[in-house]
Chains A and B, each alone.
Chain A
Amino acid sequence: MMLCPRCDSKTVELMTKAPVDDAWEVYLCNTCCFSWRSTEGDEIKDPEKYDKRFKINPAEVS
């Protein structure tokens, strides 16, 4: 199962595929609204590697 790299929630959905060439997909977290592209680096896509300074606990956002 795919987790949101930023808030670790399971509410991840496919937002869209590339309009041309099936070049990539874009995913969206329905909890914290983070989105990312499949062609980005692991430090963006992997919850373990996402920079801790930018991790979000959605309950704390006002």
Chain B
Amino acid sequence: MTFKDLREFLAILEEEGQLIRIEDEVMPEPDLSAIGRAAPDMENGPGVFINKVKGYKYSVVLNVHGSWQNHALMLGLPKETSVKEQFFALDKAWSAYPIKPVWVENAPVKEVKITGGINLFEVLPLFRVNKYDGGFYISKALIVSQDPDDPDNFEKQNAGTYRLQVKGKDLLGILPLPFHDIAIHLKKAEERNQPLPIAICLGNDPVLNFMSSTPIEYFQSEYDFAGAIKGEPIELTKSEVGNLDIPARSEIVLEGYIIPKERKIEGPFGEFPGSYSGARLMPEVRIHTITHRINPIFENLYLGIPWTEIDYLMALNTCIPLYRQLKRDFPEVVAVNAIYTHGMGVIVSTKSRLGGYGKAVAMRLLSTPHGMPYSKIVIIVDEFVDPFNLQQVMWALTTRVRVDKDVVTIPYCPGMPLDPSSEPAGMHTKLIIDATTPVAPDHCRETELIEIPEKTDFWMNYLKNLRQRKGGTNDAMSQM
């Protein structure tokens, strides 16, 4: 089973029982956000396709990434694949980077072109995502921009996800976070007092949204990574204006430019830590062109108190870069679980080379580009503990931690302003908990671990088969 775009992926979800269709007409508020909240709270959270929204022409889909089952299907794996197995599969796919995209003629996203009289509401069933948001938000866009100093450099072209507030029929507010690539592009454009052309791509191949939410390096291309994960090139085409490379099979692309050196009120917006951001002065985007497929599907994202869809969308893609950066200097590291609130909480499993090794691994994590501002609570466990299995992690905490020497706080480090506990905003006190078993020259009381009985694997399979034959019960255990 393979897919090349959102429509094909929705067909796979449906076949696997991971998509629900709503045929009754729903109200934009509060129904759409309520559906977005409910879907990931369900067991094996399904995607939800809403055919008819009151007052609008087209359909909405929510929660496409919002469960480990959907996430596994996105990676081309069986839906019951465990989180740890998905982690290792993703790491393996990462090594295929780069798989270069191909440019195609007759891109489906060009089926309909609108170049005048833009009204976003004619094409997008826009809605308020959370009650006290400052307006209607586009929360699942892949936004393409180029480095104004080097516009032909494909790798420096950025495809990132930034929230967009609807502020007019053809006007959007944008939040380019200062440590993200688009902010670099905007700064260079504004130094020349030039508008920055951007393309806002909606309803994409789910792997593209996954990559546009991934913290990769400035000189790396999200498209090349998406190709690596899929094992085949992404199909691209050119924007109508500005020579940007956009996915050929997206549902909708809004083309426009960031207005230089003007700032207007944006926000608040219910953000991924589960609380509202403030309202601040931010740049605005003027839309001049829309291209879309016939009967486009508007994919948007609900986010609330974790876990909601966004927590799946920026989970394993946060883990892999951290894992690889650690692994380079600390080859004993086995796995990194950074799926909690975009890596604000991290659990690393590692074998200890020498006494104090766990703390050294933690300090390296806290000095990686992502770990430095984001990671706040770091737990280090032994190599035989599965960091994705919180029962095992709690065992390590309860039986391995000597609180007097294994719990360390480091005050006044770089922090993440969207974390409401960051005070002043942008500062963190870091917490390291070393839950590894001490090795020399450190020492601990002599204890011996209980071994796993012989033939456990045999009996595990035996019992699984027996259960499957009896009840046909789904054996997919969520490992969250």
Residues of A within 8 A of B (CB): 6, 15-16, 18-21, 23-24, 26, 28, 32-37, 39-40, 44, 51, 53-54, 56, 58, 61-62
Contact = CB atoms under 8 A, between A and B. Distances in A.
Contact of A34 (B28, B121, B134, B169): B134
Contacts of A61: 265, 279-281
Contacts of A19: 55-57, 119, 121-122
Given A18-B121, A28-B167, A33-B266, 14 more contacts: A16-B119, A18-B55, A21-B55, A24-B55, A33-B165, A33-B167, A33-B173, A35-B166, A36-B135, A39-B28, A44-B131, A54-B132, A61-B280, A61-B281
Interface residues of B, number: 30
A34 B27 contact: no
A35 B122 contact: no
29 contacts: A6-B134, A15-B168, A16-B119, A16-B121, A18-B56, A18-B121, A19-B56, A19-B122, A21-B54, A23-B54, A24-B54, A24-B55, A26-B136, A33-B135, A33-B165, A33-B266, A35-B136, A35-B166, A36-B135, A39-B27, A40-B29, A40-B128, A44-B128, A44-B131, A51-B132, A53-B132, A54-B132, A56-B265, A61-B281
Contacts of B136: 26, 35
For B54, B132, B265, B281, the residue with the greatest tally of chain A CB atoms inside 10 Å of its CB is B265
Contacts of B56: 18-20
Interface string B111-138: 0000000010110000010011011100
A62 B280 contact: yes
Nearest to A51: B132
A12 B403 CA distance: 58
Given A35-B135, A44-B131, A62-B281, A26 B121 contact: yes
Contacts of A21: 54-55
A45 to B, nearest CB: 11
A16 B29 contact: no
Contacts of A6: 134
Contacts of A39: 27-29, 54
B268 interface: yes
Contacts of B276: 54
A15 B56 CA distance: 15
A27 to B, nearest CB: 11
Contacts of A34: 134-135
